[in-house]
Structure 1
Amino acid sequence: MHVGKQSIKFEKPPIITQTFSGVGPKEAEGPLGNHFHHYFEDEIIGTESWEKAEAEMIKHVIERLLENANLTSKDINYILSGDLENQINATHMGVKDFNIPLFGLYGACSTMGEAMGLGSILVGTGIAKRVIAGASSHNCTAEKQFRYPLEFGAQRTMTQQWTVTGCGYVLIEQEGKGLKVESITTGKIVDFETKDVTNMGAVMAPAAVDTILTHLQDTNQQPSDYDAIITGDLGVCGMNIALDLAKRLGVDLSSVMHDCGAMIYDHEVQDTHCGGSGCGCSASVFSSYWYNQIIEGKYKRVLLVPTGALMSLASTQQGEHIPGIAHAVCISKQ
């Protein structure tokens, strides 16, 4: 099953049989608003804090995922999930009442790819029959933690992205109707010695290109073998950097590359500068828009590559570099 340097190809591909997404009001007003399964009318979601709101969002989305699949928590072997809060606290609070074994993950904004990859390994090897994989983020919790509290009113740079309030979860099973996971490529940490916390696209673009090119080499493929290569949240700036870097390395991705962060907001009217970011960006966009596009046959085979900037409050305050990582999941119509 192991192929090349960093990839796994499944002899019996796991099946993504169900998805569910939930987003905040700003995301619902964007170009993809009609594709999300559910949107919350405000960011506080009837709770007392932003942190509790994110946990409530996670809980609601998983409940609806199980409901749509006609399953209960007893039918699920594992949850694989993460978020951007310290110690992935939103995930812990959001899933605690389901009484399902949890693999709590942190890959920054690449967490959706990490969760889907590890979940596919569990199902593809027969260790688990059903798993739920997903990720979330909340604009107000992330901005408060990594940059400035909202009430501070700090000026945002033009390279900065808007952290998505949203989450997406997928149900991965050994059999059923849906989309198959053909292979995965686990990313490695790539450090281009970037220190700018307001330019996450520049941090993540080299990692995205490294994982994409490694996947193509490991699986002996070309970009044209995919209908779409979908990065997580490079945003407009990061996607341009990634396209340029790949071209310098001899690979033209311009005809197939898309980015969830560049798609989720209307850049002309929503004032998000370079687009969206956060764990919930690729999670919500894939589990709604992209999943349905493939199910409907508009795309037959895609490579999903969620991207992450691996930083903490301590590392940035101490002037450390911000390394990046990206994980790839090959998904196709049955």
Structure 2
Amino acid sequence: MAEKKLGSQTVKFKNPPSIISGGTIVGPKEGEGPLRDYFDMILVDDTYGEKSWEKAESKMFQDAVNLALKKANLKISEIDYLLGGDLLNQIISASFAARQLNVPHFGLYGACSTMIEGLSLGAMLIDGGYADYVIAATSSHFSTAERQYRYPLEQGIQRPFTSQWTVTGAGATILASTGNGPYITHATTGKVVDLGMKDANNMGAAMAPAAADTIITHFKDTGFTIDDYDIIVTGDMARVGGSILLELLYKEGYDIEKKYKDCGIEIYDESQDVHSGGSGAGCSAVVLNGWLLSQIRNGVYKRVLFMATGALLSPTSSQQGESIPGIAHAITISRTI
């Protein structure tokens, strides 16, 4: 009997895991944005001393994990599982970093939702008694994503205003079976939702229906209301997707606008010419482990609904004319339990 399950898609943790540490690395552009003071490391060069952008991204992933370990005063040998992924084919950033870290590894792919997918599964492992320490980590890189999903940068293709700027960044979170919080108390696993969008330069519109579905399901499963949360944060809706999400929720009777923020909007200033805003698996990872956890620990927010969204496309599916499925996973983070 699934005694910890609420409703159709949500888990309530009996022994909520504690978030004890987080590490963040971002690229130069992200380091010029409004959240610059919350990041552990800002790169001067987005190649990070490597011969390719892909190698740089994997190094960022690995070093974000090491930063989180150092803050928690832990060794990698004390970690039971590393749960991680990225946007690249066969999640090579995460897998190659795990090769160096030498730790039991679950490779995950949820596109830009991967951070919360990892935290949800990590919380389940700890609450289930299978682990004491779990690391969830993700990364993305503007240049690796552009090379894979859209156009070679050398072509100088003009980006439409619906497009989002893939964040160059990596974030890692350490969950523990004991600690002083903040805590993950609930996790709502999303369904794949596809309303037929095909434009890879308008991922916000493709992901918004999945985001709305998960938020509505979370409220129905838990019995929580909007008033139970100090803030509701999405991963990568940015401006276009965020406005669609708010409209979809409003039609269903959920007006979250006054409590709503999006990582893709917060990480860049409008003057940075990123069009709709930020995206990428690293976007939610660095905003969560940088700015948001700082706000929770300082008492600005006591309970947060954090949701990351993913566009589940690939170069192959796009070339074959497929639409873009979306998914969204959500967790409740509480300062105390």
For normalisation by structure 2, the TM-score amounts to 0.98
- Cα offset, 1:95, TM superposition: 2.1
2:278 aligned with 1:276, yes or no? yes
Q: How big is each residue's C-alpha offset from its partner over 1:46-74, in whole Å with a ceiling of 9 and x where there is no partner?
A: 00000000011111111111111111111
**Residue 16 of structure 1: aligned partner:** 19
1:285-324 alignment, distance < 5 Å: 285-324=287-326
**Residue 116 of structure 2: aligned partner:** 113
Structure 1 CA distance for aligned equivalents of residues 91 and 252 of structure 2: 36
Q: How big is each residue's C-alpha offset from its partner over 1:296-319, in whole Å with a ceiling of 9 and x where there is no partner?
A: 000000011000000011111111
1:171-182 alignment, distance < 5 Å: 171-182=174-185
**Residue 93 of structure 2: aligned partner:** 90
Q: How big is each residue's C-alpha offset from its partner over 1:36-55, in whole Å with a ceiling of 9 and x where there is no partner?
A: 11111111000000000001
- Cα offset, 1:178, TM superposition: 2.4
**Residue 72 of structure 1: aligned partner:** 75
Check conservation: 1:25, 1:43, Cα contact below 8 A.
yes
2:188 aligned with 1:188, yes or no? no
Residue-pair matches, total: 333
2:332 aligned with 1:330, yes or no? yes
Structure 1 CA distance for aligned equivalents of residues 34 and 217 of structure 2: 32
Structure 1 CA distance for aligned equivalents of residues 236 and 163 of structure 2: 12
Check conservation: 1:224, 1:256, Cα contact below 8 A.
no
- Cα offset, 1:224, TM superposition: 1.3
**Residue 221 of structure 1: aligned partner:** 224
Q: Give 3-state SS (helix, strand or coil) of 2:258's partner.
A: coil
Structure 2 CA distance for aligned equivalents of residues 17 and 126 of structure 1: 18
Check conservation: 2:61, 2:137, Cα contact below 8 A.
no
Structure 2 CA distance for aligned equivalents of residues 273 and 60 of structure 1: 29
Letter in 2 for 1:306: A
Structure 1 CA distance for aligned equivalents of residues 100 and 86 of structure 2: 17
Q: Give 3-state SS (helix, strand or coil) of 1:136's partner.
A: strand
2:252 aligned with 1:249, yes or no? yes
Letter in 1 for 2:14: E
Structure 2 CA distance for aligned equivalents of residues 249 and 127 of structure 1: 39
Structure 2 CA distance for aligned equivalents of residues 76 and 114 of structure 1: 18
- Cα offset, 1:236, TM superposition: 0.7
Q: Give 3-state SS (helix, strand or coil) of 1:81's partner.
A: strand
- Cα offset, 1:92, TM superposition: 1.1
Q: Which moved more, 1:304-313 or 1:249-258?
A: 249-258
Check conservation: 2:65, 2:137, Cα contact below 8 A.
no
Check conservation: 1:58, 1:95, Cα contact below 8 A.
no
Q: Give 3-state SS (helix, strand or coil) of 1:114's partner.
A: helix
Match of 1:45 among 43, 48, 56: 48
- Cα offset, 1:104, TM superposition: 0.3
Letter in 2 for 1:145: Q
Letter in 2 for 1:133: A
Check conservation: 1:23, 1:39, Cα contact below 8 A.
yes
Check conservation: 1:261, 1:281, Cα contact below 8 A.
yes
Letter in 1 for 2:126: V
Structure 1 CA distance for aligned equivalents of residues 265 and 195 of structure 2: 22
Structure 1 CA distance for aligned equivalents of residues 211 and 136 of structure 2: 21
Give structure 1 regions of 4+ aligned residues with deviation exceeding 6 angstroms: none
Q: Percent identical across equivalent pairs?
A: 50
1:19-34 alignment, distance < 5 Å: 19-34=22-37
Structure 1 CA distance for aligned equivalents of residues 71 and 12 of structure 2: 29
Letter in 2 for 1:26: K
Structure 2 CA distance for aligned equivalents of residues 46 and 74 of structure 1: 27
Structure 1 CA distance for aligned equivalents of residues 66 and 39 of structure 2: 16
- Cα offset, 1:195, TM superposition: 0.6
Unaligned runs of at least 5 residues, structure 2 = none
Q: How big is each residue's C-alpha offset from its partner over 1:54-100, in whole Å with a ceiling of 9 and x where there is no partner?
A: 01111111111111111111100000000001100011112212110
Check conservation: 1:18, 1:178, Cα contact below 8 A.
no
Structure 2 CA distance for aligned equivalents of residues 144 and 52 of structure 1: 14
Unaligned runs of at least 5 residues, structure 1 = none
**Residue 2 of structure 1: aligned partner:** 5
| C-alpha RMSD of matched pairs (Å) | 0.7
Letter in 2 for 1:157: P
Structure 2 CA distance for aligned equivalents of residues 87 and 131 of structure 1: 22
Q: Give 3-state SS (helix, strand or coil) of 2:50's partner.
A: coil
Structure 2 CA distance for aligned equivalents of residues 311 and 104 of structure 1: 18
- Cα offset, 1:176, TM superposition: 1.1
Structure 2 CA distance for aligned equivalents of residues 96 and 226 of structure 1: 39
